[in-house]
Amino acid sequence: MDYIYLGNSGLRVPKYILGTVPFSGTNGFDAAGNIDEKTARRMVDMSLEAGINMFDTANLYSKGDAERVLGSAIKGRRDELLLTSKTGFPLGENPNARGASRSNILTSIDQSLERLGTDYLDVYFVHLWDGQTPVEETVETMTSIVKSGKIRHWGVSNYSGWALARTFTVAERSGFIPPITQQIYYTPEAREAEYELLPAGSELGIGSMIWSPLGEGLLNGKIGRNKQAPANRRQGAGWPEPWVQNQERLYQVIDALERVAANHNASVPQIAYAWVRDRPNVGPIVIAARNEEQLKENIASFEIQLTQEEHDRIESVARPAPLYPNWHRAMNSFDMGSPSEKTYLAGYKQSLGIDD
């Protein structure tokens, strides 16, 4: 396993991180998985053996039960691993138990620490943008819990580009501690993060950690033109996410993944992981599994090396449209693009039929 620095920090993290959405499977998360404490402990063992020493969770997952299962699975070996969690989604009727307010953050961190059986987290995320709470309140609160020792670093998730930049700027300008990472949705089919989030992260020194590179089950190899999602899986059980921009384009992406997978005697999920892993500006990616066999397969994807032709075949199918100002910049100022965005601008030039 390779280790990289997370954003502009001294924290070294594995390129693959184990996510825990399938842990517990209670409180509305039954379609995501039902991993119990025994299986979770075995999956932690397998991850550590493979060099994956970072585990990602949230108070949202099974409404705290995923944290409890993970806490049990890591008991007695906290010093061997890195932990993350998140807060922000409303979990009950309390009007203050939501968002990025001081009240919610301070309450949530203590609850998560108790469920996980630890006295600190390595990274703590604001799980979604809260446009009703002053950014100053959020960054001051996160700074205070870093200084208290309850968290080592903090990050944000599901922000827009301007919200990410504003949060970073307010923190830096005010003498607070800025976030070191963002956790964002990015797959071979869902490429919107290329417009701003991925280059912005690199420019600001904020590492881009990718959640659900398989599109919340869309790219699990069980869905295609003539394959319906199993009824006991998220995409076959009424799971509301993700939004798919174009169904035909999704099938074209799956077709491309299947062709490349055949070249490597690999599965569609393995190729999807390998492709996302190697994209520019991408930091660690969060993998997940419903059982030990699936986890073994997903970990093995780390050894797959795609050729440039294979990479390009997947990339070209779902390249984002060159929406303004991207078409204008690709036409008129490509050479003035920063290194973090040149790859995407080059793709827009191809889409526009512009020769070098």
Active-site amino acid positions: 61
DSSP strand pairing (3-5 vs 12-14):
antiparallel
Question: What is the C-alpha to C-alpha distance for residues 355 and 236, in angstroms, rounded to an integer?
Answer: 44
Nearest-angstrom CA–CA distance, 254 and 256:
5
Distance CA 235, CA 232 (A): 9
Instruction: Please give the C-alpha separations between residue 264 and each of 32, 91, 257, 293, in angstroms, as whole numbers.
Output: 28, 43, 11, 19
Rounded-to-integer distance, Cα 323 and Cα 345, Å: 11
Instruction: Compute the distance between CA of residue 180 and CA of residue 7 in angstroms, rounded to an integer.
Output: 5
Encoded amino acid at 260, one letter? V
> What residues contact 128, with CB distance under 8 A and at least 6 apart?
88, 89, 157, 158, 159
In angstroms, rounded to a whole number, what is the distance separating the alpha carbons of residues 330 and 324?
10
The answer to whether the CB of 274 falls within 8 A of the CB of 305 is yes
**Cα 172 to Cα 166: distance, rounded to the nearest angstrom:** 10
Distance CA 59, CA 80 (A): 22
Angle (nearest 5°) at CA 310 between 190 and 323: 35
Question: What is the identity of the amino acid at 157?
Answer: S
* Distance separating alpha carbons of residues 272 and 274, to the nearest angstrom: 5
